[in-house]
Amino acid sequence: MNPLLIIDAGHGGKDPGGGSNHFWKEKEMNLAISLYQFNRYKELKIPVMLTRNSDITLTPEARTAIVRNSGATFCHSNHINAGAGDGAEIIHSIFGGKEMADRIGSEIKDSGQNVRRIFTRTLPTNSNLDYYFMNRNTGNVTTAIVEYGFADSNKDDIHQLKNNWKNYAEAVVKGFCLFIGNDYILPSPNSISRETNQMKILQLPASAASWRVYPLGKHPTKGNDVGFLRPAKFNGLDYRILKNPSPYVYTIKTRDFGTVNIYAHPKYGVKFR
Ligand SMILES: [Zn+2]
């Protein structure tokens, strides 16, 4: 089966990338983000591949050929920026990809990283060509270059990227799921991605009058419930996720019922952050 998405870990091998500082090399941060996302998409059953999964050198020609020949519809090229700005940037082609870029940008913003700009750029010598080779030479694969922040920021990017890069990597996964209309679920309890994931709050929507809660260890189906939460009464309710024992089932601590499980599918308006 062709992948739907190909993830490009920018730079690698002899090319460390300009978005480096004394905490990280850009090529290593790009690879860590890409491997994290690769595992997450597999968990979400979205067909995915990588341009590289180790520290190898890829010329722009080799890299874009892998993308063009992948059979994928979409590509994300992961990078860390340099140039003393602050915040994420997403670059899409002059020929399209704005919707995907906007989705990703909005989730990155929700995850706590400011988005500096979402843009396209043309070659100064030819306004019919994209400036960046990942946009220009990836054929009909819709490519977004994602710059997660600045390695040489004077503001908070260095601290943010060092501590929260997985949150931003996860935000892109979420944005892409929403963009393609795939169900988004948090990393499962035993996934590689789960341990350090920090998106741990679920919000029950104010539109729900009641929400069943279940004792731990019992199947979360009608009849097993021990009571109701009242999201509407409180204009929505937020809970820290303690566990995610099975898909869409979350363990939370409630005031009235103690520690319980709830069934919280996004189709019922549940939000995660
Ligand atoms: Zn780069």
> What would the pLDDT profile of 208-237 be if each residue is shown by its tens digit?
999 999 999 888 888 999 999 999 999 999
User: What is the pLDDT confidence band of residue 200, given thresholds at 50, 70 and 90?
Assistant: confident
Which segments of the chain are extended strands (E)?
Answer: 5-9, 48-50, 74-81, 88-91, 115-119, 122-123, 126-130, 142-150, 201-204, 211-213, 227-229, 237-240, 243-246, 249-254, 258-263, 271-272
How far apart CA 227 and CA 200 sit, in angstroms, is 23
CA of 69 to the centre of ligand 1 (A): 22
Mean pLDDT within 128-138: 98
CA of 20 to the centre of ligand 1 (A): 9
Choice among 155-164, 171-180, 263-272 with the minimum mean pLDDT:
263-272
User: What is the pLDDT confidence band of residue 248, given thresholds at 50, 70 and 90?
Assistant: confident
CA of 173 to the centre of ligand 1 (A): 19
CA of 27 to the centre of ligand 1 (A): 8
Distances 231 to 195, 237, 238, 239 between C-alpha atoms, Å: 29, 5, 9, 11
CA of 144 to the centre of ligand 1 (A): 13
CA of 2 to the centre of ligand 1 (A): 26
Provide CB contacts within 8 A for 92, sequence distance 6+.
98, 100, 101, 118, 119, 120, 135, 142, 143, 144, 145
How far apart CA 40 and CA 42 sit, in angstroms, is 5
CA of 37 to the centre of ligand 1 (A): 17
CA of 178 to the centre of ligand 1 (A): 26
Choice among 33-37, 157-161, 199-203 with the minimum mean pLDDT:
199-203
CA of 133 to the centre of ligand 1 (A): 12
CA of 81 to the centre of ligand 1 (A): 6
CA of 80 to the centre of ligand 1 (A): 5
pLDDT at residue 263, as a whole number: 92
pLDDT at residue 197, as a whole number: 45
In the beta sheet, which residues pair with residue 66? none
User: For residue 132, is pLDDT > 90?
Assistant: yes
As a whole number, the mean pLDDT across the chain is 93
pLDDT at residue 57, as a whole number: 97
CA of 177 to the centre of ligand 1 (A): 24
CA of 33 to the centre of ligand 1 (A): 13
User: For residue 17, is pLDDT > 60?
Assistant: yes
Among 89, 79, 76, smallest CA distance to 29 is for 79
pLDDT > 90 fraction of the chain, expressed in percent and rounded: 82
DSSP 8-state code for residue 231: T
Helix (H) or strand (E) holding 240: strand 237-240
Q: Give me the amino acid identity at 199.
A: M
Residues with CB under 5 A from ligand 1 (ion): 10, 17, 79
CA of 15 to the centre of ligand 1 (A): 9
The HSE-up count of residue 198 (CA atoms within 13 Å, CB side) is 11
pLDDT tens digits, residue range 21-56?
Answer: 999 999 999 999 999 999 999 999 999 999 999 999
Q: Give me the amino acid identity at 232.
A: A
CA of 210 to the centre of ligand 1 (A): 48
DSSP 8-state code for residue 174: H
Residue 201, helix vs strand vs coil: strand
Distances 6 to 59, 74, 129, 261 between C-alpha atoms, Å: 17, 6, 22, 36
Do 261 and 249 form a contact (C-beta atoms < 8 A)? Answer: yes
pLDDT at residue 190, as a whole number: 58
Do 30 and 11 form a contact (C-beta atoms < 8 A)? Answer: yes
User: Which runs of consecutive H residues, i.e. helices, occur in the chain?
Assistant: 26-43, 60-68, 98-110, 133-136, 157-180
